[in-house]
Every structure is written in C-alpha cells, then in structure tokens.
Amino acid sequence: MSSRSSAEVLHYTAFSADPGGGNRAGVVLDASGLDDAQMLAVAAELGYSESAFLTAPDGRGGHTLRFFSPKAEVSFCGHATVAAALALAERDGPGDLLFTTPAGPVPVTVAREDGELRATLTSVEPYVEEAGSADLAEALAALDWPAADLDPALPPRIAYAGARHLVLAAASRERLADLAYDFARLEAFMHRLGLTTVQLVWRESAAVFHVRDPFPVGGAVEDAATGAAAAAFGAYARELGLVPDDAVLTLHQGADMGRPGTLTVGLTPGDTRVRVSGTGTRID
C-alpha cells in the first residue's frame, strides 16, 4: 500500500510563480494520522528535497510543522515553510501564521501582492561561527574547488538560522556554475559538522547574489531554492558587515539547474532575526 494513501499530499513550488521554477515541496496539511516512519516514507516517495507535514491547529493560532527529506528529518526548511504557508493561505485566506518547528517558532505572513500570494518567514535567532582551516580544506577537496577560486572579500563561515550551512563564496560566476563534486565525500563531511547544505555564493552587486546549495545529506545533488540557507546567509552578510542593517538582498538560485527562483532576504535594525520572502504556486 502506498505510504501516501492515508494523507492528502499537495504539490507546490516555492520562490517562483512559474511551476517550472523554484523548489518543489510536498505539503500535508493534516499529518496528525502519520507517524515519523510514515512521514519519511511519504517524503521518500515524493522525492522532493523536502516536504512539509502539519498537525491540526494547536488552538492558539499556530501549527506544528515538520520537514522530511527523502533520507531524514530536517530541523528547518525555508522553501517547504513557504509552500505550507501558501497552501494554508489558499485554503483559509492570507494573514499571519505561526509554525512551531524543530528549530523553534517561525512566524510567517502571507499577503497578496500584484495578484500573487507572497510569504515572508521570520527566522529563529541566527548565529555565525568560524570555519576551521582543516574543515575548509576538506570541503574544498570534496567540491574540487581550488582555494584560489574563493572570493577573499566573503570569508568562509558556518551560518545558522534554523539549520547549519557552510558559506563559501566563489570569485566568479563561472566558478559557481561549474559544480561537479564528490557526493559521498561531501555528505560525510557535512554529517560530521551537522550541516544541512553548503551555501555557494557569488556576489553580482552590492545586494544581489547568485547561490547554489549542494544537499547530499538529504539525498539530493542540489537544492533548487533554499530558504533556510538564505536566512543563514542574511545573518552571515550582516555579521561580516557586508551589508547595512536594513538591507534587502536578492538571491537568485536554481538557474544552473533549469529551475530559476528568487529569494528576498530582509534585515531589520534592532532585530537579529532574518526575513525571507518569495512567491510560489501549486503544481498539481
């Protein structure tokens, strides 16, 4: 019997209004009848990088939200959060939501802008830490990236805003476009450091970045649009003084995979949390 037989699964793409762009996610709006093994089985059967599972409302205006890749539960997933919020908004109307995730509470506001629904999530409290030299060397070896191809203006760091990501900046768009890595080696490295993705970035201009996110720990070569990494990158950019405290950043992701998407990252003076917003659409 299919693991999906006991739950209605909706299919969305996040961070693009085009069904052919952005990052796809399964959304189960009522997963109260599924146990952990069944949720993992649904995610594996769907094959998306992550899927979102909500319990019934908690009576206080919130929902419990969990995320599963085809291989494991994930502490936080931005694109699946956006997909879940859009699914609820299409059913119940736009407004404010509060998701209780394994990483902590994540408020989301859904509004209609220019005829499209747009979701804005607010991350949990982020942090940024140094990346050790030996760890950096191992990451570069797994990626087959020479250290000389890194941008010295954007130093490597590990950033967290619900999940941990190693941020590595390419010195050129060509370097970013050329991604052919050792899957098993990078996966083992990421498990050792508790990383969800490696956030590869190239800075086009002061507030515009192109990003890619290898995701071997989730069973995917690459994530098409990564809201959790975008939130972590916002914390990284602010921590290193790369952008002002009120910056709005545009992250382009997925073009190298043929699934272009756009993530908007907002910083607010006096609030260390990061806001990530984007559109999305149902694809079934």
Question: Strand 50-54 and strand 23-28: pairing?
Answer: parallel
25 and 146 inside one domain: no
Strand-pairing partners, residue 116, are 113
Give residue-wise pLDDT tens across range 213-257. 999 999 999 999 999 999 999 999 999 999 999 999 999 999 999
14 and 56 inside one domain: yes
* Residue span of the structural domain in which 105 resides: 10-121
113 and 196 inside one domain: no
Give residue-wise pLDDT tens across range 37-94. 999 999 999 999 999 999 866 665 589 999 999 999 999 999 999 999 999 999 999 9
110 and 195 inside one domain: no
Domain boundary among 102, 121, 140: 121
200 and 179 inside one domain: yes
Number of domains in the chain: 2
Give residue-wise pLDDT tens across range 76-88. 999 999 999 999 9
Whether the pTM exceeds 0.85: the reply is yes
- Among left, alpha and beta (phi > 0; psi -120 to 50; other), residue 238 is alpha
Sequence-distant (6+) residues with CB within 8 A of 5 are: none
101 and 144 inside one domain: no
Q: Which residue has the higher pLDDT, 65 or 3?
A: 65
| pLDDT of the residue at 7 | 83
Question: Does residue 176 have a pLDDT over 70?
Answer: yes
| pLDDT of the residue at 40 | 96
Whether residue 5 is contained in a domain is answered as: no
CB 242 within 8 A of CB 206: no
Whether residue 184 is contained in a domain is answered as: yes
Q: Pull the structure tokens for residue 219.
A: 């069973």
17 and 101 inside one domain: yes
48 and 137 inside one domain: no
Whether residue 215 is contained in a domain is answered as: yes
77 and 103 inside one domain: yes
Q: What percent of the chain has pLDDT over 70?
A: 96
| pLDDT of the residue at 1 | 33
Domain boundary among 59, 86, 121: 121
Q: How many Å separate Cα 46 from the centre of its chain?
A: 18
Q: How does the average pLDDT of the chain come out, rounded?
A: 95
Q: Rounded mean pLDDT of 149-160? A: 98
Question: Does residue 109 have a pLDDT over 50?
Answer: yes
Sign of CA dihedral 268, 273, 274, 275: negative
